[in-house]
């Protein structure tokens, strides 16, 4: 297993996909969570009551929840894409057969890919958090506001939630890559479900109470509920789309861990039983 992880780590370092996906996500966090709101703040009438509230969420004291609010909808989709590329690309390149005949078992190779993928998205989440902190501090300096950081426990909680959400979505993407034996169909189905069908079901649950139990176990609902539990304003209160309060923090974590376990198990079973040639 150690050999398999080392091999996958080398492969991950040689690939451009993690760098491109990671850089894209960091730019999205800085751009949509800080740069765009600050531009809106700059053009608002100073007499507008919402102007001060908008500046407040951009300050270092709120950096954890502000940056984290991007994860349930947009960050999840980005990490799903990386997960699909981690496993689906092997089918496109035709390299699974060589991997499975040169040492570690199929399960070990797959688990090694997921371990290294989890490490990659954790690094991406850490870099995004650092970039968000830098952007927030810069705005505070420009606006002559105090650079007061939140307690370290708040920052650690925000980063932990970002890592858990990222790893879970990455594992779902990896399982889809195995299920569809490639990247194109896996990406299409994954993005259609997460960005389209989940939102449709969430909307219908507000009209049809019978759908609420289904809504509460959706991946996006669990991610959004975890973010809301850490202080981010919900979508209904004018916050970022995808941030909801359907579940408590422990329940949201359990749902995310269940997705992680189920998708990993499903991918392992599929890759053990199916021909990959």
The answer to whether residues 118 and 86 touch, using CB atoms and an 8 Å cutoff, is: no
How far is residue 257's CA from residue 103's CA, in Å, rounded to a whole number? 30
Average pLDDT over residues 127-152: 93
pLDDT given for residue 262 in this prediction? 96
pLDDT at 102 exceeding the cut of 80: no
Q: Other CB atoms closer than 10 Å to residue 103's CB: what's the count?
A: 11
How far is residue 17's CA from residue 173's CA, in Å, rounded to a whole number? 14
Share of the chain above pLDDT 70, in %: 99
Answering whether pTM is above 0.75, one says: yes
The answer to whether residues 247 and 221 touch, using CB atoms and an 8 Å cutoff, is: yes
User: Which of 5-14, 60-69, 163-172 holds the top average pLDDT?
Assistant: 163-172
Of residues 102 and 28, more confidence is placed in 28
What tokens does 217 get? Answer: 């176990």
What tokens does 17 get? Answer: 């996909």
Q: Other CB atoms closer than 10 Å to residue 111's CB: what's the count?
A: 19
pLDDT at 109 exceeding the cut of 90: no
How far is residue 104's CA from residue 4's CA, in Å, rounded to a whole number? 6
Q: What is the pLDDT of residues 191-231, one digit of tens each?
A: 898 878 888 888 787 788 888 888 889 999 999 999 999 98
pLDDT given for residue 276 in this prediction? 65
Average pLDDT over residues 233-251: 87
Average pLDDT over residues 172-191: 92
Provide the pLDDT confidence category of residue 52 given band limits of 50, 70 and 90: confident
How far is residue 200's CA from residue 214's CA, in Å, rounded to a whole number? 12
- Out of 40-49, 82-91, 115-124, least confident range: 40-49
pLDDT given for residue 136 in this prediction? 95
Question: What is the CA 105 to chain-centroid distance, rounded?
Answer: 29
Of residues 158 and 93, more confidence is placed in 158
Average pLDDT over residues 118-133: 95
Q: Where are the domains of the chain?
A: 2-273
How far is residue 78's CA from residue 155's CA, in Å, rounded to a whole number? 22
pLDDT at 113 exceeding the cut of 80: yes
Length of the chain: 277
Positive or negative torsion for Cα 142, 51, 73, 61: positive
The residue written with tokens 């189905």 in the block is: 189
How far is residue 135's CA from residue 132's CA, in Å, rounded to a whole number? 5
């Amino acid at each position: 297993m150690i050999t398999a992880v080392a091999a996958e780590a080398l492969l991950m370092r040689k690939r451009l996909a993690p760098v491109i996906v990671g850089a894209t996500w960091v730019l999205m966090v800085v751009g949509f969570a800080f740069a765009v709101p600050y531009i809106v703040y700059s053009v608002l009438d100073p007499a507008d009551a919402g102007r001060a509230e908008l500046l407040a969420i951009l300050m270092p004291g709120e950096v954890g929840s502000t940056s984290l609010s991007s994860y349930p909808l947009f960050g999840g989709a980005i990490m799903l894409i990386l997960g699909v590329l981690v496993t689906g690309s092997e089918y496109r390149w035709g390299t699974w057969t060589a991997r499975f005949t040169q040492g570690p078992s199929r399960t070990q190779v797959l688990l090694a890919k997921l371990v290294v993928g989890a490490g990659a998205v954790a690094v991406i989440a850490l870099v995004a958090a650092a970039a968000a902190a830098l952007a927030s501090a810069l705005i505070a300096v420009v606006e002559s506001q105090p650079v007061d950081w939140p307690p370290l426990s708040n920052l650690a909680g925000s980063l932990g939630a970002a890592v858990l959400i990222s790893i879970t979505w990455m594992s779902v993407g990896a399982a889809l890559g195995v299920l569809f034996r490639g990247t194109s169909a896996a990406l299409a189905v994954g993005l259609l479900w997460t960005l389209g069908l989940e939102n449709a079901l969430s909307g219908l649950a507000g009209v049809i109470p019978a759908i609420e139990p289904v809504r509460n176990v959706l991946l996006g609902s669990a991610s959004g509920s975890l973010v809301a539990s850490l202080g981010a304003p919900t979508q209904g209160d004018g916050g970022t789309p995808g941030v909801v309060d359907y579940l408590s923090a422990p329940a949201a974590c359990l749902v995310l861990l269940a997705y992680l376990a189920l998708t990993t198990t499903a991918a392992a079973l599929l890759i053990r039983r199916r021909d990959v040639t």
